[in-house]
Amino acid sequence: MKKAEIILAVLTLVGILLSVLHIPGGNILAVLTMTILSMVYFCLSFALLNGLGFRDMIKNDNYKEISALRMVGAVLSGIVFSTAIIGILFRWMMWPGAGAMLLVSIPGFLIMLIIVLIKYFTKKELFYRNMLIRIVIIGIPLLVLFDNSSLVRNIRYSDNPELLRAIEEAEQNPEDESLWRKVDSIKGVRDRTYQENREE
């Protein structure tokens, strides 16, 4: 199961890179892989975070050495990771609701970080080291993107200053539908131009 997690994480990075380079399919790949990764954390964290594979998670004997408290911690951590990944996805795609999901994730990450650090330095178990790695890998983009939607916008539309200005103007006057139509029309022209350039 850990291999599946790594493959999904790598494909997510590839999707984001393709999206930044304006290569068709990048956004779709990022959305699919981040959604699947979020579902894996949400549904299978009890096994994944405890180092159990797909075959191992259905055998009762594998759970005898795992304490109930650690199992509950793994499930709660999976929910926090899942929410954070969906929040990062929403921020990357510039969908509404990203800020709320990221905000909900931050307290969970702080609590997890404190508990994992204490447990890691007292017990030095592999479980806590792996949790710490996941907290850092998911936590850095969580904190960077939390209140920074302009960073994503500047990365994604760095090649089109006209579109950036139109989005900033529309965000300053969110009730003005004509400004949002202008943003949509510039995006449409931009997308058609990229498609024509790729076909040539």
pLDDT score at 198: 46
Q: What's the CA gap between 153 and 20, in Å, rounded?
A: 10
Higher-scoring residue by pLDDT: 153, 75: 75
Specify whether 105 is located in the same domain as 43. Answer: yes
Residue 111 pLDDT exceeds 90: yes
Lowest average pLDDT, out of 27-31, 96-100, 191-195, goes to 191-195
Specify whether 106 is located in the same domain as 9. Answer: yes
pLDDT digits (tens, 9 = 90+) for 120-177: 899 888 888 989 999 999 999 998 888 777 788 888 777 778 888 888 888 788 788 8
Specify whether 99 is located in the same domain as 168. Answer: no
Higher-scoring residue by pLDDT: 112, 150: 112
Other CB atoms within 10 Å distance of the CB of residue 145: 20
Specify whether 89 is located in the same domain as 171. Answer: no
Range of the domain at 190: 157-199
Burial class (CB in 10 A: 0-12, 13-18, 19+), 86: buried
pLDDT digits (tens, 9 = 90+) for 42-62: 998 888 887 777 666 667 666
Specify whether 164 is located in the same domain as 145. Answer: no
pLDDT score at 2: 80
Specify whether 104 is located in the same domain as 24. Answer: yes
Specify whether 98 is located in the same domain as 184. Answer: no
pTM over 0.85, yes/no: no
Tokens 């702080």 belong to residue:
110
Q: What are phi and psi of 148, to 5 degrees?
A: -140, 60
Specify whether 124 is located in the same domain as 187. Answer: no
Specify whether 37 is located in the same domain as 105. Answer: yes
pLDDT mean across residues, the chain? 84
Specify whether 182 is located in the same domain as 112. Answer: no
Specify whether 178 is located in the same domain as 110. Answer: no
Q: How many domains does the chain have?
A: 2
Got the DSSP string for 38-102?
HHHHHHHHHHHTTT--TTGGG-GGGGTTS-HHHHHHHHHHHHHHHHHHHHHHHHHHT-TTHHHHH
Could you say which of 129, 149, 169 is where a domain stops?
149
Residue 187 pLDDT exceeds 60: yes
Closest CA to 128 of 110, 148, 114: 114
Higher-scoring residue by pLDDT: 69, 32: 32
Residue 25 structure tokens: 């399919």
Specify whether 100 is located in the same domain as 170. Answer: no
Residue 197 pLDDT exceeds 60: no
Helix (H, G, I), strand (E, B) or coil at 139: helix
